[in-house]
């Protein structure tokens, strides 16, 4: 039993209506991607600082007396005298937690670096550095680059759009397309 032409037309009509309903949502989601990319760019320098701090934390943990540490709670199999973790096991557990933070931050830095490499050769790339890493105002950027505010605004948006595609790939193209 196949579908009749009338059934197919009705299905197409329903899908067409649903796609039209999703178009405003796609625009909203595209704005969300821009916001997310901006957040990631603002966080980029802090992530690098975090990694150095976490590495210092690991060195401190290696020397720490864990006898009364409340930051890690270990549950033993039996509440009546189960084996207590050794000092070395407590250190290892705490170090593993910090190493996970390092791995997450390093992964985020790699993703942002890949997106930045997609725009690094652009003549207006300094807008991104000045805006997000040096936290310069738009007027300061205009003075530094000797260009109009509209030029800074337009190229910043264009570069972020390129970064969105580098960061979110096909998902970004579906949302923006």
Domain range list for the chain: 39-117, 123-177
pLDDT in tens, 123-150: 999 999 999 999 999 999 999 999 999 9
Residues comprising the chain, all counted? 177
How big is the CA angle at 27 (ends 25 and 33), to the nearest 5 degrees? Answer: 105
pLDDT digits (tens, 9 = 90+) for 62-114: 888 765 555 555 554 544 556 788 888 888 889 999 999 999 999 999 999 99
> Residue 25 gets which letter from DSSP?
H
């Amino acid at each position: 039993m196949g579908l009749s032409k009338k059934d197919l037309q009705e299905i197409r009509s329903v899908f067409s209506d649903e796609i039209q309903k999703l178009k405003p949502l796609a625009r909203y989601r595209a704005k969300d991607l821009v916001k997310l990319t901006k957040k990631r760019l603002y966080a980029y320098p802090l992530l690098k600082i975090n990694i150095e701090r976490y590495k210092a934390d690991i060195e401190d943990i290696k020397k720490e007396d864990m006898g009364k540490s409340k930051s890690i709670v270990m549950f033993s199999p039996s509440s009546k005298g189960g084996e207590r973790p050794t000092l070395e096991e407590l250190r290892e557990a705490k170090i593993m937690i910090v190493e996970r933070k390092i791995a997450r931050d390093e992964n985020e830095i790699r993703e942002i670096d890949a997106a930045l490499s997609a725009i690094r050769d652009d003549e207006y790339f300094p807008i991104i550095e000045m805006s997000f890493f040096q936290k310069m105002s738009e007027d300061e950027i205009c003075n530094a680059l000797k260009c109009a505010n509209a030029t800074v605004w337009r190229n910043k948006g264009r570069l972020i759009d390129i970064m969105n595609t580098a960061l979110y790939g096909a998902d970004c193209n579906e949302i923006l397309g």
